[in-house]
Structure 1
Amino acid sequence: MTDAEDLEENYRRAYGNRIGFGKKPALIMIDLVRAYFDPDCELYADVDDTLASAVRLRDAAREAGVPVIYTNVVYLPDGSNGGRFFQKARPLRNFTAGNPMARWADGLEVGEGELVISKQYASAFFGTSLAPTLTSWGIDTLVHTGVSTSGCVRATCVDCCSYGFIPIIAREAVGDRHHAPHEANLFDMDAKYGDVVGEKDVLDYFKSIGEPA
């Protein structure tokens, strides 16, 4: 690729394909906890708009009867079940059991009967029951929201694809601490693993799911 060659055109020749929505979706809300919304926390990412979009999608999912799944990160007080990830990424200390930064973001409430997946690594699939649960529910599509785009959202997207589910990433409903890794990872996920779509596209999809056949 030369400097003059357009990046999107270069990728479009190899990766310009779309999967599209499947028939039975679930919505996953990844790590929307206080750490990313508190300016005094080292994980602060200024993602209030991300949360607002994710909540709108959650409300639409509930109305349409689409399952809603939440993830958080929880470690033992000494971090010993976090392995090399905890050793490498120092801000993960905010997610030890009982730390207030690990609580749900203000305005985010888990509904009765909604699933919470507690994890120790970036992907919501790694070391959890998420994949077999989705399979048992007959889910073929997982709509991604949450933080951060370059971390847990991306890791979940890649594993989602690897496990055979369709990854849909809601652009307005994922966020990161800086626009550069955010946009780079949206670009790469859209090119290779799933479809990045707008909030309205997901809202319309959920509405169609909820309409009588």
Structure 2
Amino acid sequence: MTDDLTDNYARAYGGSAGFGARPALVLVDFAQGYFDPDCPLYGGEGCRTALASALRIRAAAHAARLPVILTEVSYPDDTGLTGGRFWQKAKPLSAFIKGRSTAAFADGLVPQDNEVIVTKHYPSAFFGTSLAPMLTAMGIDNVILAGLTTSGCIRASCVDAMSHGFITTVVSDACGDRHPGPHDANLFDMNAKYADVVSEETILAHIASLRSGGN
């Protein structure tokens, strides 16, 4: 059965989107809550390894002069009104109330002056934000996604990036989740339908080729 499903997916979804000419790196929701064992958002080793990978990719992106965008989830108070139904459903979102330590960027991810911070209230980095028109105005055609969590905000951002017309690349090593099952399943499905899922090694080689003027 597994072999039949593999063949079925290969026939139906075996295509590749490739890379664009002008990429931007979007780091999604690397918040301290995912690294705090006392927070219900805690993601353990899957989130730690994702952050380490993302920081290496971020350094390469800056070296190649690629735009780097950081997203954060932030709610002004405990009413959660700006989070709507998402707030009502997902109780751990209270970790993102402005001013709480769990809402801050994770240790090691200090925003730089040449990075843009996009604040969001829902899973997608694009929903209700200026991210899509900003990238379009910058001439970006390829969104490279890394962040937390794979099954939540990465998947939502991936689908919206593609829907907004951007070639979408998801870096598997730089995405994390609290459980390998949802992580692997969502990477598989995003790669099948919406994006190219690539390794850290592959994306670093691609960024290096841009820095050196290659294709």
TM-score band, normalised by shorter chain: over 0.9
Cα drift, residue 4 of structure 1: 5.6
In 1, Cα distance between equivalents of 2:93 and 2:144? 25
Q: For residue 14 of structure 2, what is the aligned residue in structure 1? A: 16
Give, in whole Å, the separation in 2 of the partners of 1:88 and 1:167. Answer: 28
Deviations 1:75-129 (A, max 9, x none): 1212111100000000001101111100010111111121000000000000000
Amino acid at match of 2:199: G
1:211 Cα deviation from its structure 2 partner: 1.4
Q: What letter matches 2:43 in structure 1?
A: A
Distance in 2 (alpha carbons) for counterparts of 1:90 and 1:7: 36
What code does the residue aligned with 1:65 have? R
Name structure 1 gaps, 5 residues minimum: none
Q: Secondary structure at the match of 2:152?
A: helix
Distance 1:138 1:191 in 2: 26
Equivalences for residues 6-155 of structure 1 within 5 A = 6-46=4-44, 47-77=47-77, 78-155=79-156
Matches within 5 A, 1:177-192: 177-192=178-193
Letter in 2 for 1:176: D
- The one-letter code of the counterpart of 2:205 is D
Distance in 2 (CA, whole Å) between partners of 1:106 and 1:136 is 31
* TM-score of the two chains, using structure 1 as the length reference: 0.97
* Cα distance in 1 for residues equivalent to 2:2 and 2:49: 35
Identity %, equivalent residues: 52
- Output the amino acid matched with 1:93: S
SS for the counterpart of 2:172 is strand
Q: Which residue of 2 aligns with 1:173?
A: 174
* Paired AA for residue 35 in structure 2: F
Match of 2:38, as an amino acid?
A: D
- Out of 3-12 and 177-186, give the one that drifted further: 3-12
Report the Cα distance in structure 2 between the residues aligned to 1:126 and 1:176, rounded to whole angstroms: 21
Residue 158 of structure 1 and its aligned partner are, at CA, apart by 0.1
Aligned-residue Cα RMSD (Å) equals: 1.0
Q: How many pairs were matched up?
A: 211
Question: What secondary structure does 1:6 align onto?
Answer: helix
- Cα 1:4–1:117 shift into 2, 3 Å: closer
CA distance in 2, matches of 1:68, 1:193: 21
> Matches of 1:95 and 1:88 in 2, distance apart?
14
1:209 CA drift (Å): 1.1
* Alpha-carbon distance, 1:6 to partner: 3.4
Distance, in Å, in 2 between the alignment partners of 1:70 and 1:184 is 25
Q: TM-score, normalised by structure 2?
A: 0.96
- One-letter code of the match for 2:198? V
Query: How far 1:212 moved relative to its partner?
Result: 3.8
